[in-house]
Amino acid sequence: MDFASTAVALSLALVLATFVVRHHARRLCGKEKRYHPVAGTVVHQLINFHRLHHYMTELSCKYKTYRMLDLSRSAVYTADPANVEYVLKTNFTNYGKGSYLYNILSDALGDGIFAVDGQKWRHQRKASSSEFSAKLSRIQKITYR
């Protein structure tokens, strides 16, 4: 009986010490780690499958950025223009496609802009942007005659 009471007392002391250390660390940092709100799960998507586009649009109106939980992962969705600009323009290099997506997409798309990262992507972007600029100038010449 004496061993059990000692074990319980030590466990409680350990839990209390952990709580105090975490609380003190949060106060020192000044910021708690915040996550986007959870708007639903895959089950919610299946329930609303017949109107999935409307369901996702409603969630985007309610929360500009939110998470959907799955059994093995969590997906982040955003409709906030500032977040979209951050991902696609300001900090693009941190949001690569990775080898998993490359292996899937390269069969259909080869080394095109939608399948590659890094230097290959930069090369594809330069080539396609000059092509789009040339097409746009031709369209403008025809339109504004």
| Residues 109, 140 within the same domain | yes
108 and 69 fall within a common domain: no
Q: How high is the pLDDT of residue 143?
A: 67
Q: What pLDDT shows up at residue 106?
A: 85
d(CA 140, CA 120): 30
**Distance separating the N- and C-terminal Cα atoms of the chain:** 97
Number of domains in the chain: 3
Residue 119's pLDDT is what?
85
Whether residues 101 and 139 share a domain: the answer is yes
Tell me: do 106 and 71 sit in the same domain.
Answer: no
What is the pLDDT at residue 43? 87
User: Per-block average pLDDT, block size 10, for the chain (145 residues)?
Assistant: 73 78 66 70 88 92 88 86 88 83 86 84 81 70 66
Domain range for 22:
1-33
**pLDDT for 115:** 84
In this prediction, residue 24 carries a pLDDT of 67
Residue 65 and residue 100 in one domain: no
Residues 39, 90, single domain; the answer is yes
Residue whose pair of structure tokens reads 């017949």 in the numeric block: 50
